[in-house]
Every structure is written in C-alpha cells, then in structure tokens.
Amino acid sequence: MVTDRRKDLLGVHWGWVVLGASFITLFVNYSIRIGAYPILLPEMIKDLHLTKAQAGLIKSAFAITYLVFAPIMGWLTDRVGGRKVISFFCLFLGGGAFLMGKAESLLASVVFFGIVGLGAAAMWVPCATLTQKWFGTNKRGLALGILNASAGAGFGLMGLFLPMIVIEYNWRFGWFILGIAGLSLFLLDGLLLRDRPEDMGLSPWGGELGEAREKDCPKRAGYLQILKQRQFWIVGISYLLIAYGSYALIDFMVTYGKMELNIPYGVASLFITVAAFTGIPGGILIMILSGYIGTKKSLGLTYVLVALSILFIIFSGKNVLLLIVGVAWFGVLYGGIFPLVAACARDYFPKEITGTVLGLLTIFYGLGTMASPIVTGHLADVTGTFRWSFGVGACVSLLSGFLIGFLKKRKEFEGGED
C-alpha cells in the first residue's frame, strides 16, 4: 500500500481523523435531532400549552425541511465535496437549536425546528459518504458501524444530561447548550475533514491505492437512471415504513412514560438512554452479521424484529423492568438501520453516486418521519392512549421487513448522466 506518511496525523491514517470528526459531528447532530426533542417535549407541552398533535407538528416541520434538502445535500456532496457541505450547514443545525430555546409559541417552535432540519439534512448522508471514501471495501462496514455509534452516544447521553438541566434550570437552557455545540462544529469540520484520500496522496485505510481513484474513471448515473431501478423503490419504501414505525416510538416514549404511565420524568427519560446505548453495540454487531449473511437478509430481519420489539413494549404495560427490556431490544435493532441502508447504497448502486442515492433514499425517510409524529400524536389525542399509535408503528415496521424480501441484486448501470 502506497501512502505519503507526511500526510498522516501523528502516525494515524487520516481516514481515522475523518471518521473521528464525522463521529463528533453526528454525535452533536443526533443529540439535537433525536435526543433533545423527545426529552424536552413533555416540558415544552406543559409550558407552551400544546396538544400532542401540535407537539408532533414541531417534529414534522423538521422532517419537511429535512425531506426537501437531503437529496440536494447528497448531490452537493458528490459535486463539491462533503467538507464544505457539512461545515457550512452546521451553522443552521446549531443556530436553529439555539433559537428553539427562545421559542414562545407553536409557530416559532415550528419555524426554528425547521431550521434545525435544514442543517441536519447535511449531516448523515455527507458524513457517511465521506467516511466510506476513506476506507477500503472490506473495512467500510466497520467504519459505518463506528460512525453509527455516534447516534446512540449522542441521544443516549441526552437522557442523562438534559433531565438534570431541566430540573436545575429549564428546558430552554438545554436547547441553548446544544445550539452552541452545533455552531462550534463549523470550525472542527473545516479544519479536519478532507474529501478524498488521493488528494492527500493516500489510499483508503485497509484498501489499495486504486480504490481511491474514483475520479479517474467517472461513471455516473443521473436521477432518471436511479429512479428506474426496482431495487431503489423497494429500499426506499421500506425505509419510509421503518422510519414511521421507529419514530412513532422514539418521539413519544418519554411522553408516554411520564404523561400516560405516570412514571417519574427522570426514569422515563432513561428510556431514551437505554435505547441509544444498546444501539451502539447493536449497530456494530448487525453490520458484522451483515458481512456473513448479507445486507438484504440483515435488513429484512432487523425490520421484522423492530416490529416485535414495539409490540413487546405495548404489552409491557406499566412494568418498568419489562419496558426497559423492550426498549433495549428496540435500541439494538434501531442502531443497525442506518448503516445497513448506507450499505445498500454501496451494494446496489455504483460507488460514484453513493451520496446521490443516499440523498434520494432520505426522501423516503423524511416522509416517514414527517407523517409519524402528526399521526401518532393525533391518534393519542383521539384514543387517549399511545398504545394504538405504537401498534400502527409496529404493523408498518413489519410490512417494511416483508418488502425487503423482494430485493434483488442490481444490474450494472450504463454510463452517462441525465
């Protein structure tokens, strides 16, 4: 393997520097987009006098901007590089979070969390795309598994950290702290991220020098070519369904515990922590499993088991121990969803358009996360319980697993752009 050691950092391959910076970026990103919302939501509902459906509308505003801009971010990543995209849009991620702490009404909350969604749209897809370029073919699963652990670490620690902030100060202070953390990523990513290993005279870590030379043999497919592919729609629709099912639980699990089951706020907040921390080893183990049984089987099995874990939580009633077991089960599986979908983009589509494909797939994810909080909150308002809402999420997740069974290996794309 040919490398220029002068381009390494203290003897460490720069691929690990990129992975580290990406990990920190996604750690803050998921702390804001997943950790903060469900944990601070019960206090926001009380302080701003919101219904559960209105509370869901705030999250849907995030999903709408995420949905609109994620495909653009994937395209931008393939064209101008992940470093510029990630660094610039961290300003929206952090700025929107800071403004959430200033919100005095439903409308303000919707607008500010929409700004967060714009920034978040430039985090996962560009970071996953960038990281995969820095690791060889046989090491990408490991890199994605480590990168995905940032999500669990981010919103998991929020379950421990934010309740203390709320008790000591208020929910607004929690948003302020996360907003400052998001804004600080602009400097970190600008200094450490690099777009391609060959630009630094390096090969991907664990790969050969030839793997880095994608720019020497550009073979791109346009949007129309991607949309014609049957496997794109299967992966996309199943992604929409599992996003709906997963976030039906994630967005409201703390509210469910505190407001419906009358579990103390500090204990209910731990549900997020348990789900997050079990997702860290879960994501790595599921990616290792995928190396043995394949991405398709791993994805289908994960989706079906997510549905069963949600049903287990529903039938656990007020038994806190069983609830924790069910949430841990869910967390292990949830941790594997995103790296498996990223792996699908590499397995079923040309490597030169990974960012574009992931961006397009994120449209489906955005649709699921946009519909889920509104429908879940409305059903809870109408029925007086979250159990029917969670049950719908379980059924939808089960369907997503069955859809994956129809996935087949791709045929090679023909060259040219649309």
168 vs 14, higher pLDDT: 168
Residue 395 has a pLDDT of: 95
Q: Which range among 35-39, 207-211, 220-224, 246-250 shows the weakest confidence by mean pLDDT?
A: 207-211
Q: Which range among 71-85, 308-322, 396-410 shows the weakest confidence by mean pLDDT?
A: 71-85
Residue 214 pLDDT class (50, 70, 90 cuts): very low
Residue 138 has a pLDDT of: 67
CA pair distance 370, 347, nearest whole angstrom: 27
> Is 390 within 8 Å of 380 (Cβ atoms)?
no
Mean pLDDT across 297-312: 92
Task: Report pLDDT digits (tens) over 140-190.
Answer: 777 877 887 787 788 778 878 888 888 888 899 999 999 999 999 999 888
> Is 129 within 8 Å of 77 (Cβ atoms)?
yes
Averaged confidence pLDDT in the chain:
82
> Is 67 within 8 Å of 236 (Cβ atoms)?
no
Structural domains in the chain, CATH included, are: 7-200+221-404 (1.20.1250.20)
Residue 29 has a pLDDT of: 92
Residue 409, judged by CB atoms within 10 A of its CB (0-12, 13-18, 19+), counts as exposed
Task: Report pLDDT digits (tens) over 112-152.
Answer: 999 999 999 888 878 887 887 878 766 777 787 788 778 77
Tokens describing residue 131: 């990281």
**Residue 315 clears pLDDT 90, i.e. is over it:** yes
Task: Report pLDDT digits (tens) over 340-395.
Answer: 887 777 677 766 666 677 778 878 887 888 888 889 988 988 998 999 999 999 99
Mean pLDDT across 197-204: 73
**Which H, E and C letters describe 273-311, residue by residue?**
HHHHHHHHHHHHHHHHHHHHHCHHHHHHHHHHHHHHHHH
Residue 42 has a pLDDT of: 85
**Residue 13 clears pLDDT 80, i.e. is over it:** no
Task: Report pLDDT digits (tens) over 256-269.
Answer: 888 889 998 888 88
Residue 8 has a pLDDT of: 57
- Rounded to 5 degrees, φ, ψ at 12 are -100, 130
